Amino acid sequence: MDKKEKSDELFIAHKELAFQSQEKGKRAAELVIANEELFFQKEEKGKRAAELIVANKELVLQKEEKKKRAAELIASNKEVDELEKRVKERTEDLESFSYSVSHDLRTPLRAINGYAKILGEDYGAVLDDEGKRVLGEVTSNAKKMGVLIDDLLTFSRLGRKGITKSCVDMNNLVETVLSEINQSTTHNAEIKFSNLLPAVADYNLLQPVITNLLLNAIKYSSKKEKPQIEIKSERKKGALIYSISDNGVGFDMQYVDKLFGVFQRLHSDEEFSGTGVGLAIVQRIIHKHDGKVWAEGKEGQGATFFFSLPIIDKIELEKTTNFNYPNNGK
Amino acid sequence: MENETFEILLIEDNMNDAELAIRALRKGNINNTLIHLKNGAKALEFLFGTGNFEGRDIRKKPKLILLDLKMPKVDGLEVLTQIKANELTKAIPVVVLTSSKEHPDIERAYSLGANSYIVKPVEFDEFTKVVTDLGFYWLLKNQPPV
């Protein structure tokens, strides 16, 4: 090969080399970028892994929390069961207690009353007037205690009794109560009522309400020359309101809160006899019906007792169980 | 005891109540012969001729049994169950006496075949009236079972 040929060849090779070198440089730069990318991805992965670990820990925690909650729920469920059991036991205790009260207290009372009566009947001749009076006190107090026990029992029984609502013809109810009252007590009160609105309530529970309120009105107006009692009803603000007013001794409004308490009385037994349970019974029954009781009065100028009952429409009523419409087809 | 005739059997553990019941019956002119037994066990022995009453002529039956519910050991309901379960005694009218209308056993007494029940009132006059009405009804008005 001659010199010129060689030089040409070298030149080409040199160019080639330069080109390759350039190419290598490019590749190297690309590699650097790729490397950087890889590094970045690795970091990202590391981050993700860390995040995953955290998330995993969170999950474990949540799982534990759930377990705890479940355990707590089971525990509180048990507590509810326990409470229910205790309530049931208490109720049973109360029932057997009221039975004992009613039975065991009445038995000696019956003996006191009975033997006092025998003493009066068989030995009345040897007792002077004072002796007879004292004996009378024994008998009447024994009797009073009997009434007291019965009233208390009625009151406590009301707490346990469920209510069965039906449509109650109030005119009818008042008439029934009045005829019962007229049989057992003598009074000269003029009692007025007409067109009373029907109520949706438990008939058997409304009866003692009306009886108590009417007997009270009769009692506290009995010292008037012309005792007058009036029963009225009206619809007001979505409720039925019934009122029983009398022209009797009335009461001071500052004691109005005491009227409905058990054993609370505004009069001495000498003035007007009573056990102080009647209005408490009324209140308990009306509260059971989601109604209210209240009273207005003035000393010496009569009193009015009110009770309200929610208005229940027919459709709503039919949803409640135990409902029976009275047979009106007579 | 064997030849004694009697018409009312009073089963009552409380001596006061028994005395008052007997007096009330007398006061109401119910002068029928009466036997008072103080507990349920004795009453059953008497009716069925066992124990202390071994050999009693059990065909001699009361026209009326007045039965207190609350008695120690053999209570009124147990006595009632046995009376009503036995052919010999099941037709005898049994009137259950209880101290209160709160008595949870009143319904059971009826389902066991009690003919009537009365709540002994605190008032003696009332008690006399109730016992008298009762004796009058079951001893005079009511046609006794043959």
Smallest CA–CA distance, residue B79 to chain A, in Å, is: 20
Residue A315 confidence (pLDDT) above 70:
no
Contact at CB, A143 and B122, closer than 8 angstroms? yes
Stretch B44-71: mean pLDDT, rounded?
90
DSSP 8-state symbol, A324: B
Smallest CA–CA distance, residue A160 to chain B, in Å, is: 13
Give the nearest chain B residue to A154 (CA atoms).
B102
- Strands in A228-236's sheet, in edge-to-edge order, are A190-193, A228-236, A239-246, A303-310, A293-297
pLDDT tens digits for range B97-146 = 887 666 667 788 888 888 888 888 777 888 788 888 887 787 776 665 55
Full DSSP string of A271-308: TS---S-HHHHHHHHHHHTT--EEEEE-TTS-EEEEEE
Give the nearest chain A residue to B121 (CA atoms).
A110
Query: What radius of gyration do chain A's Cα atoms show?
Result: 46
- The Cα B84–Cα B111 span in angstroms is 11
Query: A-chain residues within 8 Å CB-CB of B125?
Result: 117
Count CB atoms within 10 A of the CB of residue B35.
15
Contact at CB, B100 and A110, closer than 8 angstroms? no
Q: Which residue has the tokens 């009335």?
A: A250
pLDDT tens digits for range B14-39 = 999 899 889 888 888 787 789 999 99
- A119 confidence band (pLDDT: 50, 70, 90): very high
Residue A30 confidence (pLDDT) above 80:
yes
Query: A-chain residues within 8 Å CB-CB of B104?
Result: 95, 99
* ipTM higher than threshold 0.95: no
Question: What is residue A133's predicted lDDT score, i.e. its pLDDT?
Answer: 93
Contact at CB, B20 and A95, closer than 8 angstroms? no
Contact at CB, A111 and B121, closer than 8 angstroms? no
Give the nearest chain A residue to B70 (CA atoms).
A103
